[in-house]
Homo-oligomer: A and B are copies of this chain.
Amino acid sequence: MKCNVVAVGTELLLGQIVDTNSSYIGEQLAATGIASHLQLKVGDNLERVVAAITLALQDADAVIICGGLGPTHDDLTRDALAQIMNVPLEHNEEVAEVIRELFAKRNRVMAANNMRQAQVPAGATVIPQTRGTAPGLICPVGNKVMYAVPGVPHEMYDMLARAVLPDLLQRSGEAAVIASRVLRTWGDSESGLNEKLDPIIEELEELQNPTLAFLASGWEGIKVRLTAKAPTQQEAHALLATWEQRVRDIVGTNVFGVDTDTMESVVLDLIAQRGWSFAVAESVTGGLVGGRITAVPGVSKTFRGGIISYASDVKYELLDVDLGPVVSEKAAIQMAIGAQEVLNADVALALTGVAGPDEQDGQPVGTLCIGVAFPDGSTASTTAMLPGQRDQMRQMSVITALSFLRGLLLNRPL
């Protein structure tokens, strides 16, 4: 089974918008075991859209067309599909009714051109719209098939999962349900994980179900994605559960979360489970840790606040750090104790380091000292040497410090 992708929109060619849609579709197709050999971007011009789709269909069984389904005269995907199928566009009253209802619900007047979105090539199947106003389309052409989905990402994600991938799988004669689970890891390199998981990877290359893929996510660690196919959701999830456990048995606590978990949400959960409150003291990161912590909804139950002690004076005067070098584990621990006291928090995490461009206190660029203070008066600290320029070093510092705190919390009983 081969499926190519066409992204429609002049703004994509002009670089005003980066085409992330076809990357997403490519990733989903790969996870589903469907090959994609050619992906095209084309502008809002009927002749060229027809040519691009025809081209994409030449060496493939299917093509997914993304964008060009809106209400304006620039939205030409419907016309292109009808032309390739050699059929007329027909008014679909069911689709029209949904569009009218959507506008009525939002108390907005519907411009007449919205009815363009109710035009459907004869013989096409409608993918009902649940979010936007444009429905998707499944258009058979000979023994091949064209899928049209909106260019608005969340509408596209929904239709891809709900209708396009299941239809593609059914056509390929495979079981029709797909489920994925992403295990978030931190602490292993991609090649290190690959080596550890080698026996599992070999087994899965034979079985082909579930599939296992590594997804790099910058300085946020490596994601291990398992994707299972099965006749039912229940069976797919059972398959995922089995193999998730196999991966966890090998990778251990370097798996810090699943799916939408983040290092900060996991650390906050561990702190909240212990009934503690939390504070930070930041120098090199200047507020980045606090910024990420407070991105988690509901954090106000646990997080008291932070001290951005950027100038050395602030460390000495407000946090009671001993006069002297401020890039050291001793200073980091004193910063943590200071934040604990000033902010009246149970646990505090402190970061001090050198992001560059110049070295500081005789410490080279990339040095990060982390200090932690616990409610029982115990403390912990470590030093890391981080790579990269200023921005990368600072971002790496955030996740490195949160991961250090996570490790300490895991070793403390509930």
Interface assignment of A379: CB less than 8 Å from any CB of chain B:
no
Across the interface, A13 reaches (CB within 8 A) one of B15, B26, B216, namely B26
Interface string of A296-311 (1 = CB under 8 A from B): 0101100111111111
Which of A45, A294, A313, A318 has the largest count of B CB atoms less than 10 A from its CB? A294
Binding stretch for chain B, among A34-42, A87-95, A160-168, A247-255: A34-42
**Which parts of A103-144 form the interface with B (CB within 8 Å)?**
none
Contact, CB under 8 Å: B318 / A343: yes
Interface assignment of A408: CB less than 8 Å from any CB of chain B:
no
Q: Give Cα distance in the complex from A216 to B18, angstroms.
A: 12
Q: Which residues of B contact A40 (CB under 8 A)?
A: 38-41
Binding stretch for chain B, among A169-177, A195-203, A283-291: A283-291
Q: Give Cα distance in the complex from A12 to B305, angstroms.
A: 41
How distant is A222 from chain B, measured CB to nearest CB, in Å? 12
Across the interface, A305 reaches (CB within 8 A) one of B52, B308, B391, namely B308
Interface assignment of A273: CB less than 8 Å from any CB of chain B:
no
Contact, CB under 8 Å: B18 / A20: yes
Q: Which residues of B contact A290 (CB under 8 A)?
A: 282, 286-288, 290-291, 308, 310
Q: Which residues of B contact A207 (CB under 8 A)?
A: none
Q: Give Cα distance in the complex from A299 to B48, angstroms.
A: 51
In the assembly, how many copies of this chain are there? 2
Contact, CB under 8 Å: B297 / A287: no
Contact, CB under 8 Å: B304 / A313: yes
Interface string of A14-30 (1 = CB under 8 A from B): 11111110111111101
**Which parts of A352-377 form the interface with B (CB within 8 Å)?**
356-357
Across the interface, A15 reaches (CB within 8 A) one of B27, B285, B303, B390, namely B27
Q: Which residues of B contact A151 (CB under 8 A)?
A: none
Contact, CB under 8 Å: A310 / B304: yes
Q: Which residues of B contact A295 (CB under 8 A)?
A: 286, 390-391, 394
Contact, CB under 8 Å: A308 / B307: yes
Q: Give Cα distance in the complex from A13 to B64, angstroms.
A: 13
Interface assignment of A293: CB less than 8 Å from any CB of chain B:
yes
Interface string of A311-339 (1 = CB under 8 A from B): 10110011000000000000000000000
Q: Which residues of B contact A42 (CB under 8 A)?
A: 37-39
Q: Give Cα distance in the complex from A290 to B12, angstroms.
A: 34
Q: Give Cα distance in the complex from A105 to B216, angstroms.
A: 30
Interface assignment of A344: CB less than 8 Å from any CB of chain B:
yes
Interface assignment of A55: CB less than 8 Å from any CB of chain B:
yes
Q: Give Cα distance in the complex from A25 to B342, angstroms.
A: 52
Contact, CB under 8 Å: B303 / A293: no
How distant is A267 from chain B, measured CB to nearest CB, in Å? 15
How distant is A113 from chain B, measured CB to nearest CB, in Å? 19
How distant is A339 from chain B, measured CB to nearest CB, in Å? 10
Q: Give Cα distance in the complex from A305 to B309, angstroms.
A: 5
Q: Give Cα distance in the complex from A388 to B107, angstroms.
A: 19
Q: Which residues of B contact A18 (CB under 8 A)?
A: 18-20, 23
Contact, CB under 8 Å: B26 / A39: no
How distant is A193 from chain B, measured CB to nearest CB, in Å? 15
Contact, CB under 8 Å: B294 / A305: no
Which of A15, A294, A342 has the largest count of B CB atoms less than 10 A from its CB? A15
Interface assignment of A210: CB less than 8 Å from any CB of chain B:
no
Q: Which residues of B contact A304 (CB under 8 A)?
A: 310-311, 313-314
Contact, CB under 8 Å: A318 / B342: yes
Q: Which residues of B contact A299 (CB under 8 A)?
A: 310
Closest 7 CB pairs of A and B: A287-B290, A286-B294, A15-B27, A287-B287, A306-B308, A15-B26, A15-B23
Given contacts A14-B36, A17-B23, A295-B394, 13 further A-B contacts (CB under 8 A): A12-B23, A14-B30, A18-B23, A19-B23, A22-B41, A38-B42, A38-B52, A282-B290, A288-B290, A297-B357, A305-B309, A311-B343, A318-B343
